[in-house]
Structure 1
Amino acid sequence: MSDDTTPQLRRGWTTGACATAATKAALMRLWGGAFVREVGIVLPKGETPVFPLALAEAGEGWARVGITKDAGDDPDVTHGALIVVTVRPSDKGIVFQAGEGVGTVTKPGLPIGVGEPAINPVPRQMMTDVVEEMAAHYGQRPDVVIEVSVPGGAEIALKTWNPRLGITGGLSILGTTGVVRPFSCAAWIASIHRGIDVARAAGLTHVAGCTGATSEATVQALYALPDHAMLDMGDFAGGMLKYLVKHPVGRVTIGGGIGKITKLAQGAVDLHSARSQVDFAGLAAMVGDLRVAEANTALEAYEIAGPMMAQKVADQALAQVQARFGAAGITYDIIIIDRKGTIIARAGV
């Protein structure tokens, strides 16, 4: 039975959807002569959101519109950002440009070429469709420069994976559906996949995925790995490993604390506390210490059983990963790190 009292999380709209709406409203001013108060667009799956204009400016031969991004109830770092599009005539068809706060691609492996504005393929297609629609409506040629900017975007981008992926100077204009679904894992996993793509394109033969900042710093220093070898795995071990099977790299290191790696050792590949738990009875059997069954956390279990437990967990985690994801011929190793950044167990090295 459904619980009607459960609050429904509110969905939002991607930066790509906001840029598309801004493009449409700016073209309506450029070619139609007037700004509208709000503008509606059709998203790839048929949704029809309407966006109020937060900025509307125009001059001779150009028009500019800003849309404030609403990410709904998703904890998106770009929520509240102003997505601004300036349009002006072009003599080379549709040309995309990166304005203030929008990044530029500097490494191969992403779906956009090196030197191009970091505006992903689906948002580009959405904006292209709007240009063609508006050009047909107003009897114009679909030849425009579309400059996308995000004031403050360079600072916001420091909270994203863009610097590691080789996107410099600002944010990416993203979205495959135009919709932000609250607390969806899709964006994080997609970023892991793009990190793998960049690492492979750079010819790297060793990458690492870690559960947090401390384990990442320890693993990176241990192997002297470059930034673009470090995949932001977080809790999504399965999202990383499944993609690596289809897009292999010679060696993969997985690093994390005792709690997350214990879950991996017990067969979980989503390591978030809301979606997987440590089986303490099973852990007690693994380490041969019945006291562990009464522990409340993996750290408490480690304090009871000592270093032997960490090594058994590392060995079992490696066995789980090899059994499930070893078909691609990848060499794996596991590193367990404590909260101070000290390595307490290793397997596969």
Structure 2
Amino acid sequence: MDQTPKLRRGWTTGACATAACKAALTGMWGGTVPGAVTITLPKGETPTFAIVNPGAAAASVIKDAGDDPDVTHGAEVRVAVAPSQGGVVFRAGDGVGTVTKPGLPIAVGEPAINPVPRAMMDEVVAELASEFGRAPDVEITVSVVGGAALAAKTWNPRLGIAGGLSILGTTGIVRPFSCAAWIASIHRGIDVARADGLTHVAGCTGATSERVVQALHHLPDHAMLDMGDFAGGMLKYLRRHPVARVTVGGGIGKLTKLAQGAMDLHSGRSQVDFATLSDWTGQDLTGCNTALEAVTRVPELADIVAVRARSKVADMIDADIDVVVIDRAGTVLARDG
């Protein structure tokens, strides 16, 4: 019987903002901000959120990301509302960013509040306007306490979102350790690079390989895709949304797995096959513990990995491809292309 503890889900910033919006509107139109509100998520789930720091027409929700290591876990998502000159208008308060580059689902100059959270708040405005007999003309200002500092730990600066966080969520639910959020950020990075007219992007497995590749090619920050372990997620999207030149950079271990055909490079989902490395080099490497140990024994293995990794990438996308293989210190072990 599986005794693995079940990980607890959490709520997106978009869901938290929607709940805070409902409480703030209730305060503005009904006179009292409630201590808790229930909202309806896109797939019909109806969670209840505790409300903190109520004002006359403002309210906050403390984000609970469940067991996911989310940078915004515990952040205060605050919404203030006021009458507008017509319709629903969204504003970026302190800690919420503004879009400065094309390619994102929100237009340049708009607050970084994504389409689904906007739609959820639109529905709350319509619901409460009907309940209180008011016109649905509301200005909604979303803030995140400390959001500007938190945003520095996210992809937002690279994506051209200035001044703070994005209000995100397509389902309202944070699923612990979800690969989907990371892959979606890679996709948005490709969208932004293409919209800005970049013809060369680079996907790297970590910070060291990114630093090396960026210096080698003199690439701007928004050309760098935080591929991590998700080579397949990046390459499949590039196949549908092509860029003329693609560099893949990474440590010898992860790029060895790519060279062997793995598209998910996480240690829990793919492993280096040392028997295959022995076949490639003609030397017995089955006693090695790591790919770095193998390449220390047989230095030409690094060149073989670079060539074979580039071939696997070329099987996925039609582009001018190069591969950069490094060690843990950032020394380039091999390049191909």
Q: TM-score, normalised by structure 1?
A: 0.95
Unmatched 5+ stretches in structure 1: none
Per-residue deviation, 1:305: 1.1
Alignment of 1:1-349 (within 5 A): 2-3=1-2, 5-58=3-56, 63-290=57-284, 292-306=285-299, 308-323=300-315, 325-326=316-317, 329-348=318-337
Report how many residues are paired: 337
Distance 1:215 1:94 in 2: 45
Distance 2:327 2:291 in 1: 12
Amino acid corresponding to residue 82 of structure 2 in structure 1? R
Alignment deviations for residues 212-254 of structure 1 (CA, whole Å, 9 cap, x no partner): 1111011001111011100010111111000000000001000
Per-residue deviation, 1:6: 2.1
Alignment deviations for residues 67-107 of structure 1 (CA, whole Å, 9 cap, x no partner): 00000000000000000000011112100000000000000
Distance 1:179 1:102 in 2: 20
Distance 2:240 2:150 in 1: 32
Distance 2:174 2:130 in 1: 30
Query: Is the contact made by 2:292 and 2:327 (CA closer than 8 Å) also made in structure 1?
Result: no
Per-residue deviation, 1:320: 1.3
CA RMSD of aligned residues (A): 0.8
Amino acid corresponding to residue 5 of structure 2 in structure 1? P
Per-residue deviation, 1:317: 0.7
Poorly superposed stretches of 4+, deviation over 6 Å = none
Alignment deviations for residues 265-305 of structure 1 (CA, whole Å, 9 cap, x no partner): 00001101111111111111112111x11111111111111
Q: TM-score, normalised by structure 2?
A: 0.99
Per-residue deviation, 1:32: 1.1
Unmatched 5+ stretches in structure 2: none
Distance 1:194 1:322 in 2: 22
Amino acid corresponding to residue 191 of structure 1 in structure 2? S
Distance 2:178 2:44 in 1: 20
Per-residue deviation, 1:343: 1.1
